[in-house]
Copies of this chain bind each other. A is one copy, B any other.
């Protein structure tokens, strides 16, 4: 009871859906290669706003993974083979803080622990990120997409 209370007051972790969104988009594109799919159509599958999809498609274009075409009969499609994109690539495209979260903003430098804590956390956080990258590096978008019928 108390514990439940604490958990609800105190959320944790990567608190967004961007990885899920972007891999959903890529999966849809990979399942229909050489077809121009519209952001509205993709958004309808994910059940999110089409503007969000277009923003994420912009990120995918920056990576060179997707090409889009404006105008009537426009849309987006994959620009590379799905086995050229690893899940680590996808995660990196979408991530901008560490797996273990944020470091404290301004610990007290007069305290022997506070003085060095961010240096030590920096190392630990970087190593933890690397472990995740290494694991995701071994899987490709093709592997992921292959799980769907």
Contacts and interface: CB of A to CB of B under 8 A. Distances in A.
B121 A23 contact: yes
Chain B CB count within 10 A is highest, among A13, A104, A136, for A13
A69 interface: no
Interface string A95-134: 1111111111111100111101100110010011001100
Majority SS of interface residues in chain A?
A: helix
Contacts of A114: 24, 45-47
Interface in A1-24: 2-3, 6-7, 9-21, 23-24
Interface residues of A, number: 67
B14 A97 contact: yes
A44 to B, nearest CB: 6
A28 to B, nearest CB: 5
Given A113-B148, A144-B120, A103 B17 contact: yes
Chain B CB count within 10 A is highest, among A19, A91, A111, for A19
Given A6-B59, A45-B108, A101 B31 contact: no
A97 B12 contact: yes
A140 to B, nearest CB: 12
